[in-house]
Amino acid sequence: MRILGIESSCDETAAAVVEDGVSILSSVVASQLTTHARYGGVVPELASREHLRAIVPVVRMALAEANSNYSDLSAIAATVGPGLVGSLLVGLTFAKSLCFARGIPLIGVNHIEGHIHAAILDAQVEYPAIALVVSGGHTHLFQVNPGFSYKLMGKTRDDAAGEAFDKVGKLLGFGYPGGPVIDQLAPHGNPRAVKFTLAKMKGNALDFSFSGLKTAVLRWTEARNLDAEIQARKQLLAANAKPTVDEWLAVTPKATLDLLASFQRTVIEELLRRAAAAAESIEARALIVSGGVACNSGLRAAAAEMNLLYPVYFPSKSLSTDNAAMIAAAAFPKLKRGEFTELNATAAANLTLAEYN
């Protein structure tokens, strides 16, 4: 059974064909990074416009690469939320039109559920599991039960982990998105050089907070005169949209590398400490880590070094960031259960996957 997945919740227009929820026949992602990079973040109006431009060729390419026609599809799955409403509407409306014209069932998918499925495609995961979803917009811990029902266990009270990477990257002149650059440079610094003291939080011990850490980085920066090096990095970026690690290293002194390494270590510790505590509290049989920040090499290495008693599943790096294969994969259990979405469904910018209970 083939499902065409369509994803357009943020700044990637993506389409994919996935067979039986496990084999990816095609996965096409048109990134808008270059459009948004010069603004230091995603500009919603530009994102919608770019999705409109990309959606038809991206879907065509995904079908062609999968050697599939509309008649081969058992369903079309589209992200209904959460995300930027203008962006979501492009993918969802296109999916609805295709379903209407071709008489194919529609399956609306929650973007966060998509991220979770990216990590478990063909893996034999045992449940209950804990899913740590860490991206530019989300930092959530969920209990995942057999049959894919979810319970929220913790979430960020302010910034998402990826947002913290992006804000630190922007502050220090590394452009947008900050996560991949910090990931590459962190191994060149001392992760124990800068000690951040994080405020103790009241309430749910599994909730996250990254705004204090972001402010601590800001204070560290303000206490030093970094104008010249930040300027040098901005110039490098203006001349070359994708500098190499060596080019970044040439304009980044040791103290700043130490700061990046210490920042990344702190984020990783915060994430994994709570994920492990959540897993322990429900005697989880697996830990699933997904979302853009799951690309982070330091996070992957730290999770492996913890020698947890249960397996840890990360998606491949290309499936960690936004893509449509994860949307098609998440739709497969719904297809099997006959859970279809009405064609008058609408996008929901603040859609949640599960609440505390």
Footprint on this chain of Zn ion (rule: CB under 5 A): 135, 322
Determine, following the binding rule CB under 6 A, whether residue 207 of this chain makes contact with ligand KG4.
Answer: no
**Of 163 and 322, which has the nearer Cβ to Zn ion?**
322
Residue/partner pairs of 250-257 with CB below 8 Å, 24 or more apart: 252/185, 253/229, 254/189, 255/193, 255/224, 256/172, 256/189, 256/226, 256/229, 257/185, 257/186, 257/188, 257/189, 257/190
Residue 258 interacts with, from Zn ion, ligand KG4, none (CB under 5-8 Å by kind): none
**Of 135 and 341, which has the nearer Cβ to Zn ion?**
135
Query: Which two tokens mark 315?
Result: 């998606």
Determine, following the binding rule CB under 6 A, whether residue 82 of this chain makes contact with ligand KG4.
Answer: no
Query: Distance from CA of residue 65 to its chain's centroid?
Result: 24
Q: What angle do CA 292, 294, 295 make, to 5 degrees?
A: 75
Query: Which two tokens mark 188?
Result: 């060149």
| Among positions 173, 178, 189, 315, the unique one binding ligand KG4 when judged by CB under 6 A | 178
- Inter-residue contact 330 to 114 (CB < 8 Å): yes
**Of 110 and 135, which has the nearer Cβ to Zn ion?**
135
In the region spanning residues 86 to 145, those forming contacts with ligand KG4, defined by CB under 6 A, are 135-137
Mask: binding to ligand KG4, 5-44, rule CB under 6 A, as x and -? -----x----------------------------------
**Of 73 and 168, which has the nearer Cβ to ligand KG4?**
168
Q: Residue 55, CB half-sphere, CA atoms under 13 Å: how many? A: 23
**Of 58 and 104, which has the nearer Cβ to ligand KG4?**
58
**Of 82 and 154, which has the nearer Cβ to Zn ion?**
82
d(CA 202, CA 208): 11
- Shortest distance, CB of residue 225 to ligand KG4, whole angstroms? 27
Q: Which of 143, 113, 146 is nearest to 127 (CA)?
A: 146
Mask: binding to ligand KG4, 145-174, rule CB under 6 A, as x and -? -----------------x--xx--------
Residue 270 interacts with, from Zn ion, ligand KG4, none (CB under 5-8 Å by kind): none
Determine, following the binding rule CB under 6 A, whether residue 191 of this chain makes contact with ligand KG4.
Answer: no
- Shortest distance, CB of residue 297 to ligand KG4, whole angstroms? 7
Q: Which of 64, 63, 76 is nearest to 104 (CA)?
A: 76
Query: Which two tokens mark 356?
Result: 């505390």
Q: Which of 207, 269, 256 is nearest to 228 (CA)?
A: 256
d(CA 22, CA 255): 45
| Among positions 75, 80, 90, 293, the unique one binding ligand KG4 when judged by CB under 6 A | 293
**Of 135 and 256, which has the nearer Cβ to Zn ion?**
135
| Among positions 322, 330, 334, 353, the unique one binding ligand KG4 when judged by CB under 6 A | 322
d(CA 299, CA 290): 11
Residue ranges binding ligand KG4 (CB under 6 A): 10, 135-137, 162, 165-166, 177-180, 183, 291-293, 295-296, 321-322
